[in-house]
Amino acid sequence: MREIDRLNCESIISLGDVAGYYCMLNECIEELNSRKIVNLRGNHDDYLLCGKGCPRSRSASRCLAFQERSLGREHRQWLEQSLISITLGEASLVHGGWIDPLEEYLYELRAQYFASRPGRFFFSGHTHVQVLQDLDGRIYCNPGSVGQPRDGDPRAAFALWDGAEVTLQRVEYDVDAICRKMRDAGFESR
């Protein structure tokens, strides 16, 4: 957030999955809420709100169970207000994909996927892998993940969009501090 402040961003949009990872969900929601950050509902946010675990990950399910026990009422209400998708002029934003906004993984991108969809810019998360690709004049961006990048680079990942151009960003953060907080909350080392 310090880097985003330094860059003087006008607004911030979270592409979801505030829940499902780590032990500081209430603190994350407080930070996002205090900054009036719009949050799109991610699949992990949905798992938490529906009271079910992650079907693909025991460790995520363990985090979700911990978060469900510790989630404050007002924080839950904030998470429940998360949108499924947003359109901002020529930009379309979802968590997963445009066929399934919560669960669709977009790893192999093809121009025809976006050809009939309105807009020029398409943003989604879900894979935690930072991508910026021009698909026959349609720009697709996955900004990566602030808290758990999965592309071999442990730095927090995000993207900047000025309405005409997208740039990918990375910033260092103290992974060991997060590990200590998780250990102190009773999580195993992995």
pLDDT tens digits, one per residue of 148-188: 899 999 999 999 999 999 999 999 989 999 999 999 999 98
Superfamily of domain 2-184: Metallo-dependent phosphatases (3.60.21.10)
The whole-angstrom distance between residue 105's C-alpha and the CA centroid of its chain comes to 13
Rounded to a whole number of angstroms, the distance between the first and last alpha carbons of the chain is: 26
* CB-based contact 155:171 (threshold 8 Å): yes
Tens-place pLDDT, residues 121-137 = 999 999 999 999 999 99
Which pLDDT does position 149 carry in this prediction?
A: 92
Rounded Cα–Cα distance for residues 142 and 58 (Å): 25
If you count them, how many residues does the chain have? Answer: 190
Tens-place pLDDT, residues 84-97 = 999 999 999 999 99
Rounded Cα–Cα distance for residues 5 and 170 (Å): 14
The kind and range of the H/E element at 140 are strand 138-142
- Closest by CA to 32, choosing from 64, 67, 1, is 1
Collapse the DSSP code of 85 into the 3-class scheme (helix H, G, I; strand E, B; otherwise coil) and give the result. Answer: strand
Which pLDDT does position 190 carry in this prediction?
A: 75
Strands (DSSP E) found in 46-96 = 85-88, 91-94
- Sequence spans of domains, the chain: 2-184
The whole-angstrom distance between residue 169's C-alpha and the CA centroid of its chain comes to 14
